[in-house]
Amino acid sequence: MGDVATIVRSWHDKINEKDLPCRSTFSPMKMGRFLGYTYILEQNDEGIFFRLAGSDLETIWGQSLASENITALLSSIESYNIYHGLIKYAFDQKIGLIFTGLLKDKHSNFRSIEEVVLPYDKKGRTEMIGVQFVGNGKSGLTSFSENAYIITNIKMIVPSGMQETRALPLELEDLIKSRSIPIEIAEKEM
């Protein structure tokens, strides 16, 4: 959790009262050694898309991610509903998220994953910067579809001064509960 905590602290340090960090102070280029695992998400009327993604992520997923809808990576309807629902909620509420779980890579190896997704302001529009920390692959788990992403834990990061977030949409909350996925809200300091 050390690398994730470092990124979250850096993001928190750039929040100005109730304003999200701006792109010039919190950008992918400032991710240093994490750059290859970093991505940018943007939202429009057609969905949530990768604007860019690091080369290490594209190697793991086995495809170019730029301009892809985030749903293109998830063949499981359940994974899609949880992941997409949480990312959309984070966009709407301007909060960060940390996921832990497993993903199935292009070689059908399952890898542990820890992912942090944090909002920033780009000229009045919210975008998300994310970093996926991916562990070593383990083969033998074959009961899941291609491009599986199994979330096992969720942490919401609510910036101080923005504590008025609304509850998760009921359908999303029920789906998360049905999978027994723990969800917590993190305070400013991690």
Q: Which residues touch 32 (CB under 8 Å, ≥6 apart)?
A: none
| Calpha distance 83→100 (Å, rounded) | 12
For tokens 């304003």, the residue is 19
Burial of 55 (0-12, 13-18, 19+ CB in 10 A): exposed
Burial of 148 (0-12, 13-18, 19+ CB in 10 A): buried
| Calpha distance 20→121 (Å, rounded) | 6
Alpha helices in 32-169 (DSSP H): 55-61, 77-93
142: Cα within 13 Å, side-chain hemisphere? 2
Q: Sheet containing 47-53: give its strands across.
A: 47-53, 38-44, 125-138, 110-122, 96-104, 149-157, 183-186
- Sequence length of the chain is 190
Give pLDDT, residue 190. Answer: 45
Give pLDDT, residue 45. Answer: 87
Residue pair 157/60 in contact by the 8 Å Cβ criterion: no
Whichever domain contains 23, its CATH number is 3.30.450.20
Residue type, 178: S
How confident is the model over 99-138, as pLDDT tens digits?
Answer: 888 877 767 777 788 999 999 888 888 888 888 888 876 6
188: Cα within 13 Å, side-chain hemisphere? 11
Give pLDDT, residue 189. Answer: 47
How confident is the model over 48-61, as pLDDT tens digits?
Answer: 999 889 898 888 87
Q: Is the Cα torsion angle 14, 164, 154, 171 positive or negative in sign?
A: negative
Domain containing 122: what range? 2-186
Number of domains present in the structure of the chain: 1
CB count within 10 Å of CB 123 equals 7
Give pLDDT, residue 117. Answer: 92
Give pLDDT, residue 175. Answer: 87
Question: Within the chain, which residues score under 70 in pLDDT?
Answer: 1-2, 17-18, 28-29, 72-79, 106, 137-148, 160-166, 187-190
Residue pair 186/160 in contact by the 8 Å Cβ criterion: no
